[in-house]
């Protein structure tokens, strides 16, 4: 196995796959990156058994072959070399020799045969979407995923495929985020899958805000996303996602319309003196006005008031201020609508028009 390559041509694909390499692994080979050199160039593969990333560098190969080297050390060596440096890579007697100029490094290897491969994807539904649309879908929902919840099916992002759209839903049991994107999917029955948190975070890192297409394959056990020069595969969480449509409020008789930025700033200011653990604020609805109140165990208080469109009955209701700010951060429109029924019911936050995203926040007792 032997090839020569410019530093930049090897560093970018290495950095792309490095996100899934764990420093502390029970299997030593998982700390390594698999390097496969062939006629099509060099393929770099990294995995943590849950997520697999592959990146391709189209360079000429002098002698084909494959091996695995310590991922972090190899990336650090390439990163430390001067820009535009030429790197020569060769495998000799279970050791890899990396040379550049007068620099020479000898790295240990583990056999490529020890490197785990992902199972074949079964029962595949395949479709394409622009990268920017997939990225936007994840950005608008991923923050509501649970973290290390015993209900393991909440520790991921649910994707629902229908013949006309792709929907993403995330919930931690206290709030819910939902967003849709139009897609043409050849599918007879709707399909729901749950992508684990780490897979979602890696996808968000890899997807770019451009109109280049992402090919998405969703099976019963894995999801695969193919991007230009990159392949992402993740296991799916084996579990049933809750019936999320039941928790989306409907028939609300109270509706507040507000300027998104004005509301966000008022909530942010008030949150400074909220309880650091529970992050609760009280909303006091008045005709065409919204009072926001917070206090903490140190007997400190914050009050703010903004103008809103509201002509319903006076009402006081408590919410986790962080959950409300998270939703307002990802809504793109200038104006938002908050719908609710009473002090014990969840609220629905959405843009006043032209957006397919919806956010549900459960009330708090304060």
The CA distance from 251 to 80, in Å, is 61
Last residue of a domain, one of 217, 245, 273: 245
Domain identity same for 130 and 86? no
Within a domain: 119: no
67 falls within a domain:
yes
Put simply, whether the predicted model's pTM sits higher than 0.75 gets the answer yes
- Residue 206: predicted pLDDT: 96
Tokens describing residue 151: 């209900």
The per-residue pLDDT for 87 is 97
Q: Give, to the nearest 10 degrees, the angle between helix 7-17 and helix 71-80.
A: 140
Please tell me whether residues 174 and 235 are part of one structural domain.
Answer: yes
β-strand 222-227 against 335-340: which pairing, if any?
unpaired
Strand-pair partners of 311: none
Q: Domain check: are 38 and 75 in the same one?
A: yes
Yes or no: say if 328 and 267 are a contact pair by the CB < 8 Å rule: yes
Nearest 5 degrees, angle CA 269-CA 274-CA 277? 135
Question: What's the rounded Cα separation, in Å, for the pair 28 and 24?
Answer: 9
Are 214 and 184 members of one domain?
A: yes
Give dist(CA 52, CA 324) in Å, integer: 34
* Residue 241 structural domain: 125-245
Q: Are residues 153 and 64 part of one domain?
A: no
Same-domain pairing of 13 and 30 = yes
Residue 287 falls within a domain, yes or no?
yes
Paired tokens of 4: 């020569």
233 and 294, same structural domain?
no
Looking at 245, 280, 296, the residue that finishes a domain is 245
Task: Report how far residue 36's alpha carbon sits from residue 118's, in angstroms, rounded to the nearest whole number.
Answer: 16
DSSP state of 241: P
Beta carbons within 8 Å of 223's beta carbon, 6+ residues apart: 159, 193, 195, 199, 216, 217, 233, 234, 236
Q: 135 and 241: one domain?
A: yes
- Determine the pLDDT at residue 338: 98
Which two three-digit tokens encode residue 67?
């091996």
- What does each of the 366 residues of the chain score in pLDDT, given as a tens digit? 999 999 999 999 999 999 999 877 789 999 999 999 999 899 999 999 999 999 999 999 999 999 999 999 999 999 999 999 999 999 999 999 999 999 999 999 999 999 998 888 888 999 999 999 999 999 999 999 999 999 999 999 999 999 999 999 999 999 999 999 999 999 989 999 999 999 999 999 999 999 999 999 999 999 999 999 999 999 999 999 999 999 999 999 999 999 999 999 999 999 999 999 999 999 999 999 999 999 999 999 999 999 999 999 999 999 999 999 999 999 999 999 999 999 999 999 999 998 899 999 999 998
- Is the residue at 366 inside a domain? no
Q: Are 137 and 109 contained in the same domain?
A: no
Q: How many domains does the chain have?
A: 3
CATH code for the domain in which residue 324 is found = 3.10.150.10
């Amino acid at each position: 196995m032997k090839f020569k390559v410019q530093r930049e041509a090897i560093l970018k694909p290495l950095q792309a796959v490095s996100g899934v390499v764990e420093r502390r692994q029970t299997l030593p080979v998982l700390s390594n990156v698999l390097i496969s050199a062939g006629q099509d160039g060099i393929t770099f593969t990294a995995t943590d058994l849950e997520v697999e990333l592959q990146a391709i560098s189209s360079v000429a190969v002098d002698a084909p072959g494959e091996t695995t080297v310590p991922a972090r050390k190899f990336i650090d060596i390439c990163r430390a070399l001067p820009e535009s440096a030429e790197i020569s890579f060769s495998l000799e007697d279970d050791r890899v020799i990396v040379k550049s100029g007068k620099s020479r490094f000898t790295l240990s290897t583990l056999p490529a045969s020890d490197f785990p491969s992902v199972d074949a994807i079964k029962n595949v539904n395949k479709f394409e979407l622009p990268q920017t649309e997939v990225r936007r879908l994840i950005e608008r929902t991923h923050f509501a995923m649970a973290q290390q919840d015993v209900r393991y099916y909440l520790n991921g992002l649910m994707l629902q495929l229908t013949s006309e759209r792709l929907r993403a839903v995330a919930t931690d049991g206290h709030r819910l985020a939902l967003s849709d994107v139009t897609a043409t999917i050849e599918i007879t029955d709707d399909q729901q899958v749950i992508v684990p948190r780490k897979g979602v975070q890696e996808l968000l890192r890899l997807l770019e805000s451009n109109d280049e297409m992402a090919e998405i394959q969703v099976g019963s056990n894995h999801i695969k996303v193919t991007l230009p020069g990159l392949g992402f595969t993740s296991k799916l969480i084996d579990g049933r996602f809750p019936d999320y449509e039941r928790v989306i409020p409907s028939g609300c008789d109270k509706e507040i319309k507000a300027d998104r930025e004005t509301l966000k700033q008022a909530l942010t200011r008030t949150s400074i003196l909220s309880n650091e653990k529970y992050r609760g604020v009280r909303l006091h609805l008045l005709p065409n006005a919204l009072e926001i109140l917070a206090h903490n165990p140190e007997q400190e208080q914050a009050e703010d008031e903004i103008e809103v469109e509201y002509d319903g009955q006076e009402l006081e209701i408590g919410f986790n201020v962080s959950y409300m700010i998270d939703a307002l951060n990802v809504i793109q429109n200038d104006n938002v609508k908050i719908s609710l029924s009473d002090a014990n019911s969840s609220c629905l936050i959405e843009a006043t028009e032209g957006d397919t995203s919806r956010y549900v926040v459960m009330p708090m007792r304060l």
